[in-house]
Amino acid sequence: MSYAPPHERDPMGWCFAIAIAFLVLCSIRLTTPAAPYFDEVHYLPAARALLEGATYPNREHPLFGKEAIAAGIALFGDGPLGWRIFSLLAGTMTLFAAMRALWFASCSRPATIAYGLLLATGFALFVQSRIAMLDIFMAAFLAIAAWQFAGAVREPETGRRRLAMTGIALGLAAASKWNALPLLPLPGLAFLVARLHADGWRGLWSRRGAPVPGITLPEAALWLGMVPLIAYWATFLPAYTFADGSISQTGIIALHREMLALHESVLAPHPYQSTWPDWILNVRAIWYLYEPVDGVQRGIVLIGNPLTMLLGLGALGWCAWVGVVRRRMDALGVFLVYAASLGLWFFAAKPVQFYYHYFVPSIALLAALALLTAELWRDGWRWISLAIPAASIAMFAWFYPILSAAALEGPGSFATWMWLDSWR
Protein backbone atom coordinates (compact mmCIF):
# COMPACT_ATOMS: atom_id res chain seq x y z
CA MET A 1 0.00 0.00 0.00
CA SER A 2 1.08 3.55 -0.65
CA TYR A 3 1.79 5.79 2.28
CA ALA A 4 0.35 9.28 2.48
CA PRO A 5 2.90 11.97 1.60
CA PRO A 6 4.53 13.60 4.62
CA HIS A 7 2.99 16.85 5.82
CA GLU A 8 5.08 19.39 7.66
CA ARG A 9 3.87 20.55 11.04
CA ASP A 10 2.29 24.01 11.20
CA PRO A 11 4.90 26.39 12.69
CA MET A 12 2.25 28.40 14.55
CA GLY A 13 4.40 28.53 17.67
CA TRP A 14 7.30 29.96 15.70
CA CYS A 15 5.00 32.54 14.13
CA PHE A 16 3.82 33.72 17.54
CA ALA A 17 7.34 33.70 19.01
CA ILE A 18 8.89 35.70 16.17
CA ALA A 19 6.02 38.22 16.19
CA ILE A 20 6.21 38.72 19.96
CA ALA A 21 10.00 39.12 19.86
CA PHE A 22 9.56 41.69 17.11
CA LEU A 23 6.92 43.54 19.16
CA VAL A 24 9.25 43.72 22.16
CA LEU A 25 12.21 44.87 20.07
CA CYS A 26 10.16 47.57 18.35
CA SER A 27 8.87 48.81 21.70
CA ILE A 28 12.35 49.86 22.80
CA ARG A 29 12.58 53.67 22.45
CA LEU A 30 9.21 53.73 20.69
CA THR A 31 8.57 57.16 22.25
CA THR A 32 11.96 58.53 21.11
CA PRO A 33 11.93 61.17 19.80
CA ALA A 34 9.21 62.73 21.92
CA ALA A 35 8.43 65.26 19.17
CA PRO A 36 6.94 64.45 15.75
CA TYR A 37 9.53 63.52 13.12
CA PHE A 38 9.58 63.05 9.35
CA ASP A 39 6.03 62.59 7.92
CA GLU A 40 4.45 62.53 11.36
CA VAL A 41 4.30 66.31 10.95
CA HIS A 42 1.65 65.74 8.24
CA TYR A 43 -0.36 62.85 9.69
CA LEU A 44 -0.60 63.87 13.33
CA PRO A 45 -2.39 67.19 12.56
CA ALA A 46 -4.72 65.24 10.27
CA ALA A 47 -5.48 62.74 13.05
CA ARG A 48 -6.16 65.55 15.52
CA ALA A 49 -8.53 67.17 13.02
CA LEU A 50 -10.43 63.88 12.76
CA LEU A 51 -10.88 63.82 16.52
CA GLU A 52 -12.14 67.39 16.45
CA GLY A 53 -14.49 66.67 13.55
CA ALA A 54 -13.65 70.03 12.04
CA THR A 55 -12.10 69.47 8.62
CA TYR A 56 -10.30 67.01 6.36
CA PRO A 57 -6.62 67.97 6.08
CA ASN A 58 -3.98 65.93 4.22
CA ARG A 59 -6.64 65.33 1.59
CA GLU A 60 -4.41 63.47 -0.87
CA HIS A 61 -4.70 60.30 1.23
CA PRO A 62 -7.78 58.32 2.32
CA LEU A 63 -8.85 58.28 5.94
CA PHE A 64 -8.33 54.90 7.55
CA GLY A 65 -4.64 55.16 8.44
CA LYS A 66 -5.23 58.56 9.97
CA GLU A 67 -8.26 57.19 11.82
CA ALA A 68 -6.00 54.52 13.34
CA ILE A 69 -3.51 57.18 14.47
CA ALA A 70 -6.41 59.22 15.88
CA ALA A 71 -7.61 56.16 17.82
CA GLY A 72 -4.18 55.87 19.41
CA ILE A 73 -4.28 59.52 20.45
CA ALA A 74 -7.79 59.10 21.87
CA LEU A 75 -6.82 56.02 23.89
CA PHE A 76 -3.26 56.83 24.99
CA GLY A 77 -3.06 60.59 24.80
CA ASP A 78 -1.62 63.11 22.38
CA GLY A 79 1.99 62.08 22.91
CA PRO A 80 4.54 59.77 21.31
CA LEU A 81 2.96 56.58 22.70
CA GLY A 82 -0.48 57.54 21.42
CA TRP A 83 0.94 58.57 18.06
CA ARG A 84 2.83 55.32 17.42
CA ILE A 85 1.11 52.55 19.37
CA PHE A 86 -1.13 51.40 16.53
CA SER A 87 1.77 51.53 14.07
CA LEU A 88 3.58 49.14 16.41
CA LEU A 89 0.60 46.79 16.55
CA ALA A 90 0.06 47.01 12.79
CA GLY A 91 3.72 46.19 12.15
CA THR A 92 3.50 43.15 14.42
CA MET A 93 0.34 42.03 12.64
CA THR A 94 2.05 42.51 9.27
CA LEU A 95 4.81 40.13 10.33
CA PHE A 96 2.47 37.51 11.80
CA ALA A 97 -0.04 37.63 8.92
CA ALA A 98 2.71 37.48 6.30
CA MET A 99 4.14 34.34 7.91
CA ARG A 100 0.71 32.73 8.03
CA ALA A 101 0.10 33.66 4.39
CA LEU A 102 3.33 31.99 3.29
CA TRP A 103 2.56 28.92 5.39
CA PHE A 104 -0.85 28.43 3.78
CA ALA A 105 0.58 29.15 0.33
CA SER A 106 3.58 26.81 0.57
CA CYS A 107 2.96 24.43 3.50
CA SER A 108 6.69 24.79 4.08
CA ARG A 109 7.80 25.04 7.68
CA PRO A 110 11.38 26.12 6.79
CA ALA A 111 10.09 28.82 4.40
CA THR A 112 7.66 30.20 7.00
CA ILE A 113 10.25 30.41 9.78
CA ALA A 114 12.89 31.86 7.46
CA TYR A 115 10.39 34.44 6.21
CA GLY A 116 9.61 35.61 9.71
CA LEU A 117 13.30 36.11 10.46
CA LEU A 118 14.04 37.79 7.13
CA LEU A 119 11.06 40.15 7.30
CA ALA A 120 11.67 41.09 10.93
CA THR A 121 15.31 41.95 10.14
CA GLY A 122 14.72 43.49 6.72
CA PHE A 123 14.94 47.04 8.17
CA ALA A 124 11.85 48.52 6.50
CA LEU A 125 9.21 46.76 8.60
CA PHE A 126 11.04 47.65 11.80
CA VAL A 127 11.36 51.34 10.91
CA GLN A 128 7.80 51.71 9.63
CA SER A 129 6.40 50.00 12.73
CA ARG A 130 7.80 52.78 14.91
CA ILE A 131 6.48 55.90 13.18
CA ALA A 132 2.99 57.33 12.72
CA MET A 133 2.76 56.96 8.94
CA LEU A 134 0.10 55.36 6.74
CA ASP A 135 2.20 52.70 5.01
CA ILE A 136 2.23 50.26 7.92
CA PHE A 137 -1.57 50.08 8.07
CA MET A 138 -1.74 49.42 4.34
CA ALA A 139 0.88 46.66 4.68
CA ALA A 140 -0.90 45.08 7.65
CA PHE A 141 -4.21 44.70 5.84
CA LEU A 142 -2.56 43.50 2.64
CA ALA A 143 -0.82 40.80 4.69
CA ILE A 144 -4.11 39.87 6.38
CA ALA A 145 -5.78 39.64 2.96
CA ALA A 146 -3.03 37.35 1.68
CA TRP A 147 -3.28 35.20 4.82
CA GLN A 148 -7.04 34.81 4.57
CA PHE A 149 -7.10 34.17 0.83
CA ALA A 150 -4.36 31.54 1.03
CA GLY A 151 -6.17 30.02 4.01
CA ALA A 152 -9.42 29.82 2.03
CA VAL A 153 -7.65 27.91 -0.73
CA ARG A 154 -5.88 25.57 1.71
CA GLU A 155 -8.92 25.01 3.97
CA PRO A 156 -12.03 25.25 1.75
CA GLU A 157 -14.32 24.42 4.68
CA THR A 158 -13.52 27.91 5.99
CA GLY A 159 -13.60 29.46 2.54
CA ARG A 160 -16.66 31.71 2.81
CA ARG A 161 -15.55 33.30 6.09
CA ARG A 162 -11.99 33.74 4.88
CA LEU A 163 -13.00 35.25 1.54
CA ALA A 164 -15.21 37.75 3.36
CA MET A 165 -12.27 38.70 5.59
CA THR A 166 -10.06 38.97 2.51
CA GLY A 167 -12.46 41.48 0.98
CA ILE A 168 -12.68 43.57 4.14
CA ALA A 169 -8.89 43.61 4.52
CA LEU A 170 -8.39 44.64 0.89
CA GLY A 171 -10.79 47.54 1.34
CA LEU A 172 -9.05 48.72 4.51
CA ALA A 173 -5.64 48.45 2.85
CA ALA A 174 -6.77 50.76 0.04
CA ALA A 175 -8.42 53.01 2.62
CA SER A 176 -5.05 53.40 4.31
CA LYS A 177 -3.06 54.31 1.23
CA TRP A 178 -3.68 54.05 -2.50
CA ASN A 179 -0.39 52.22 -3.06
CA ALA A 180 -2.42 49.07 -2.35
CA LEU A 181 -4.63 49.52 -5.43
CA PRO A 182 -2.61 47.37 -7.90
CA LEU A 183 -2.92 44.39 -5.54
CA LEU A 184 -6.67 44.58 -5.00
CA PRO A 185 -7.67 42.69 -8.20
CA LEU A 186 -5.17 39.84 -7.71
CA PRO A 187 -7.28 37.56 -5.44
CA GLY A 188 -10.31 37.88 -7.68
CA LEU A 189 -8.30 37.26 -10.84
CA ALA A 190 -6.58 34.28 -9.21
CA PHE A 191 -9.98 32.84 -8.28
CA LEU A 192 -11.30 33.33 -11.83
CA VAL A 193 -8.28 31.78 -13.55
CA ALA A 194 -8.12 28.81 -11.17
CA ARG A 195 -11.84 28.06 -11.50
CA LEU A 196 -11.84 28.24 -15.31
CA HIS A 197 -8.71 26.07 -15.42
CA ALA A 198 -10.30 23.51 -13.12
CA ASP A 199 -13.80 23.32 -14.63
CA GLY A 200 -13.70 25.07 -17.99
CA TRP A 201 -16.54 27.38 -18.93
CA ARG A 202 -18.82 25.50 -16.54
CA GLY A 203 -16.77 27.16 -13.82
CA LEU A 204 -18.65 30.39 -14.50
CA TRP A 205 -21.61 29.01 -12.52
CA SER A 206 -20.32 25.79 -10.95
CA ARG A 207 -19.41 25.35 -7.28
CA ARG A 208 -16.89 22.65 -8.11
CA GLY A 209 -13.16 22.86 -8.48
CA ALA A 210 -10.29 25.04 -7.38
CA PRO A 211 -9.48 27.34 -5.78
CA VAL A 212 -12.28 27.15 -3.16
CA PRO A 213 -14.81 24.37 -3.77
CA GLY A 214 -18.33 25.34 -2.76
CA ILE A 215 -17.96 29.00 -3.74
CA THR A 216 -19.33 30.14 -7.11
CA LEU A 217 -17.72 32.86 -9.17
CA PRO A 218 -20.60 35.31 -8.52
CA GLU A 219 -20.21 34.77 -4.78
CA ALA A 220 -16.44 35.20 -5.05
CA ALA A 221 -17.07 38.45 -6.94
CA LEU A 222 -19.20 39.60 -4.01
CA TRP A 223 -16.52 38.89 -1.39
CA LEU A 224 -13.52 39.97 -3.45
CA GLY A 225 -15.12 42.75 -5.50
CA MET A 226 -18.05 44.39 -3.73
CA VAL A 227 -17.00 43.93 -0.11
CA PRO A 228 -13.66 45.77 -0.58
CA LEU A 229 -15.53 48.72 -2.09
CA ILE A 230 -18.01 48.79 0.79
CA ALA A 231 -15.25 48.55 3.40
CA TYR A 232 -13.31 51.31 1.65
CA TRP A 233 -16.33 53.62 1.48
CA ALA A 234 -17.27 52.96 5.12
CA THR A 235 -13.99 54.48 6.31
CA PHE A 236 -15.15 57.85 4.92
CA LEU A 237 -18.36 57.94 6.97
CA PRO A 238 -16.88 60.16 9.73
CA ALA A 239 -16.00 62.77 7.11
CA TYR A 240 -19.67 63.31 6.31
CA THR A 241 -20.03 64.89 9.76
CA PHE A 242 -17.12 67.35 9.44
CA ALA A 243 -18.03 70.90 10.35
CA ASP A 244 -16.76 72.26 7.04
CA GLY A 245 -19.10 69.96 5.09
CA SER A 246 -16.24 69.02 2.78
CA ILE A 247 -17.76 65.68 1.68
CA SER A 248 -21.46 66.10 2.40
CA GLN A 249 -21.65 69.09 0.05
CA THR A 250 -19.44 67.98 -2.86
CA GLY A 251 -19.77 64.18 -2.60
CA ILE A 252 -17.23 61.40 -2.37
CA ILE A 253 -16.63 61.25 -6.14
CA ALA A 254 -15.56 64.90 -6.23
CA LEU A 255 -13.33 64.24 -3.22
CA HIS A 256 -11.56 61.43 -5.09
CA ARG A 257 -11.02 63.64 -8.11
CA GLU A 258 -9.36 66.14 -5.79
CA MET A 259 -7.26 63.40 -4.18
CA LEU A 260 -6.05 62.21 -7.58
CA ALA A 261 -5.19 65.75 -8.63
CA LEU A 262 -3.19 66.26 -5.46
CA HIS A 263 -1.22 63.05 -6.11
CA GLU A 264 -0.37 64.20 -9.62
CA SER A 265 0.49 67.78 -8.70
CA VAL A 266 4.08 68.83 -9.24
CA LEU A 267 5.92 69.13 -5.95
CA ALA A 268 9.23 70.79 -5.21
CA PRO A 269 12.22 68.42 -5.53
CA HIS A 270 13.18 66.70 -2.29
CA PRO A 271 16.75 65.75 -1.33
CA TYR A 272 15.66 62.20 -0.45
CA GLN A 273 13.50 61.52 -3.52
CA SER A 274 14.30 58.46 -5.61
CA THR A 275 12.85 56.21 -8.31
CA TRP A 276 12.18 52.51 -8.65
CA PRO A 277 15.63 51.56 -10.06
CA ASP A 278 17.16 53.13 -6.93
CA TRP A 279 14.84 51.05 -4.74
CA ILE A 280 15.66 47.77 -6.48
CA LEU A 281 19.39 48.34 -6.09
CA ASN A 282 18.98 49.71 -2.54
CA VAL A 283 21.11 52.76 -3.31
CA ARG A 284 19.03 55.63 -1.87
CA ALA A 285 18.30 55.96 1.83
CA ILE A 286 15.98 58.32 3.69
CA TRP A 287 17.02 59.81 7.00
CA TYR A 288 13.82 60.01 9.04
CA LEU A 289 15.77 61.51 11.93
CA TYR A 290 19.31 62.70 12.54
CA GLU A 291 19.64 65.31 15.25
CA PRO A 292 20.32 65.71 18.98
CA VAL A 293 17.47 64.24 21.02
CA ASP A 294 17.48 64.19 24.82
CA GLY A 295 20.98 65.62 24.81
CA VAL A 296 22.56 62.98 22.53
CA GLN A 297 22.86 62.42 18.79
CA ARG A 298 20.31 59.96 17.41
CA GLY A 299 19.36 58.74 13.99
CA ILE A 300 16.72 56.70 12.15
CA VAL A 301 17.43 55.71 8.56
CA LEU A 302 15.13 53.90 6.14
CA ILE A 303 17.02 51.57 3.82
CA GLY A 304 16.68 47.91 2.98
CA ASN A 305 18.88 45.25 4.53
CA PRO A 306 21.90 45.41 2.18
CA LEU A 307 22.25 41.62 2.13
CA THR A 308 18.70 40.40 1.66
CA MET A 309 17.54 43.15 -0.69
CA LEU A 310 20.13 42.03 -3.23
CA LEU A 311 19.87 38.28 -2.63
CA GLY A 312 16.12 38.64 -2.98
CA LEU A 313 16.44 39.81 -6.58
CA GLY A 314 17.92 36.45 -7.56
CA ALA A 315 15.21 34.71 -5.53
CA LEU A 316 12.52 36.60 -7.48
CA GLY A 317 14.00 35.34 -10.74
CA TRP A 318 13.96 31.80 -9.36
CA CYS A 319 10.33 32.22 -8.27
CA ALA A 320 9.31 33.36 -11.73
CA TRP A 321 11.09 30.37 -13.30
CA VAL A 322 9.72 27.65 -11.02
CA GLY A 323 6.32 29.31 -11.04
CA VAL A 324 6.04 29.03 -14.82
CA VAL A 325 8.09 25.90 -15.56
CA ARG A 326 7.29 23.79 -12.48
CA ARG A 327 3.87 25.33 -11.80
CA ARG A 328 4.83 26.33 -8.27
CA MET A 329 1.84 28.50 -7.44
CA ASP A 330 3.33 29.79 -4.19
CA ALA A 331 6.43 31.06 -5.99
CA LEU A 332 4.42 32.47 -8.89
CA GLY A 333 2.07 34.26 -6.49
CA VAL A 334 4.97 35.90 -4.65
CA PHE A 335 6.49 37.06 -7.94
CA LEU A 336 3.17 38.49 -9.15
CA VAL A 337 2.66 40.42 -5.91
CA TYR A 338 6.13 41.92 -6.29
CA ALA A 339 5.59 42.75 -9.96
CA ALA A 340 2.16 44.33 -9.41
CA SER A 341 3.18 46.42 -6.40
CA LEU A 342 6.38 47.63 -8.06
CA GLY A 343 4.82 47.99 -11.51
CA LEU A 344 2.59 50.79 -10.25
CA TRP A 345 5.65 53.01 -10.03
CA PHE A 346 6.63 52.43 -13.65
CA PHE A 347 3.60 54.49 -14.69
CA ALA A 348 2.47 56.46 -11.63
CA ALA A 349 1.99 60.15 -12.35
CA LYS A 350 3.51 61.06 -9.00
CA PRO A 351 6.46 63.35 -9.67
CA VAL A 352 8.24 62.93 -6.32
CA GLN A 353 8.73 59.38 -5.04
CA PHE A 354 10.57 57.88 -2.07
CA TYR A 355 12.10 54.62 -0.93
CA TYR A 356 9.17 53.86 1.37
CA HIS A 357 7.09 53.26 -1.76
CA TYR A 358 9.16 50.05 -2.10
CA PHE A 359 7.85 48.79 1.27
CA VAL A 360 5.23 46.38 -0.09
CA PRO A 361 7.42 45.07 -2.96
CA SER A 362 10.20 44.44 -0.45
CA ILE A 363 7.84 42.31 1.66
CA ALA A 364 7.17 40.12 -1.40
CA LEU A 365 10.89 40.05 -2.25
CA LEU A 366 11.72 38.62 1.18
CA ALA A 367 8.99 35.99 0.73
CA ALA A 368 10.75 34.94 -2.48
CA LEU A 369 14.06 34.68 -0.63
CA ALA A 370 12.39 32.59 2.09
CA LEU A 371 11.02 30.15 -0.52
CA LEU A 372 14.46 29.83 -2.09
CA THR A 373 16.00 29.30 1.35
CA ALA A 374 13.56 26.44 1.99
CA GLU A 375 14.40 24.93 -1.41
CA LEU A 376 18.09 24.96 -0.51
CA TRP A 377 17.22 23.25 2.78
CA ARG A 378 15.31 20.49 0.99
CA ASP A 379 18.10 20.01 -1.56
CA GLY A 380 20.67 19.41 1.16
CA TRP A 381 22.37 22.83 1.13
CA ARG A 382 21.41 23.36 4.74
CA TRP A 383 24.40 25.43 5.73
CA ILE A 384 23.49 28.01 3.09
CA SER A 385 19.85 27.86 4.10
CA LEU A 386 20.78 28.62 7.70
CA ALA A 387 23.42 31.20 6.79
CA ILE A 388 20.99 33.49 4.93
CA PRO A 389 18.66 34.32 7.85
CA ALA A 390 21.61 34.28 10.26
CA ALA A 391 23.46 36.85 8.14
CA SER A 392 20.28 38.94 7.89
CA ILE A 393 20.02 38.99 11.69
CA ALA A 394 23.70 39.94 11.97
CA MET A 395 23.26 42.79 9.47
CA PHE A 396 20.23 44.03 11.38
CA ALA A 397 22.19 43.97 14.63
CA TRP A 398 24.98 46.02 13.05
CA PHE A 399 22.58 48.69 11.75
CA TYR A 400 20.33 48.60 14.82
CA PRO A 401 21.65 51.82 16.40
CA ILE A 402 20.59 53.92 13.39
CA LEU A 403 17.31 52.05 12.92
CA SER A 404 16.16 52.50 16.52
CA ALA A 405 17.19 56.04 17.56
CA ALA A 406 19.91 54.70 19.86
CA ALA A 407 22.39 57.14 21.39
CA LEU A 408 25.33 57.80 19.05
CA GLU A 409 28.74 59.23 19.84
CA GLY A 410 28.38 62.44 17.89
CA PRO A 411 27.23 64.23 14.71
CA GLY A 412 29.67 62.30 12.51
CA SER A 413 28.64 58.85 13.75
CA PHE A 414 26.43 58.17 10.73
CA ALA A 415 29.56 57.61 8.59
CA THR A 416 30.10 54.25 10.33
CA TRP A 417 27.16 52.77 8.44
CA MET A 418 27.21 54.77 5.21
CA TRP A 419 28.72 52.27 2.81
CA LEU A 420 27.49 54.30 -0.16
CA ASP A 421 27.60 58.06 -0.58
CA SER A 422 23.98 57.94 -1.76
CA TRP A 423 22.93 56.66 1.67
CA ARG A 424 24.10 59.91 3.31
Inside any domain, residue 152: yes
Inside any domain, residue 141: yes
Q: What average pLDDT does this structure show over 178-196?
A: 95
Confidence at residue 38, expressed as pLDDT on a 0 to 100 scale? 94
Confidence at residue 396, expressed as pLDDT on a 0 to 100 scale? 98
Give the model confidence (pLDDT) of 307-335 as tens digits. 999 999 999 999 999 999 999 999 999 99
d(CA 211, CA 117): 29
Give the model confidence (pLDDT) of 256-280 as tens digits. 888 888 877 756 677 788 889 999 9
d(CA 330, CA 153): 12
> What total number of domains does the chain contain?
1
Confidence at residue 2, expressed as pLDDT on a 0 to 100 scale? 57
Inside any domain, residue 3: no
Q: How confident is the model at residue 199 (pLDDT cuts 50, 70, 90)?
A: confident
Domain range enclosing 36: 12-423
Inside any domain, residue 110: yes
Inside any domain, residue 162: yes
Inside any domain, residue 5: no
Q: What average pLDDT does this structure show over 63-82?
A: 96
Confidence at residue 56, expressed as pLDDT on a 0 to 100 scale? 75
Does position 221 have pLDDT exceeding 50, yes or no? yes
Q: What average pLDDT does this structure show over 141-154?
A: 97
Q: How confident is the model at residue 6 (pLDDT cuts 50, 70, 90)?
A: low
Inside any domain, residue 6: no
Inside any domain, residue 403: yes
**CA 25, 95, 81, 403 torsion: positive or negative?**
positive
Q: How confident is the model at residue 1 (pLDDT cuts 50, 70, 90)?
A: very low
Confidence at residue 40, expressed as pLDDT on a 0 to 100 scale? 96
Point out the least confidently predicted range of 100-104, 105-109, 196-200, 276-280: 196-200
Q: What average pLDDT does this structure show over 127-154?
A: 98
Q: Which residues 6+ apart lie within 8 Å of 372 measured at CB? A: 314, 315, 318, 319
Does position 407 have pLDDT exceeding 80, yes or no? yes
Does position 149 have pLDDT exceeding 90, yes or no? yes
Q: What average pLDDT does this structure show over 33-42?
A: 94
Of 182 and 347, which is predicted with more confidence? Answer: 182
Does position 36 have pLDDT exceeding 60, yes or no? yes
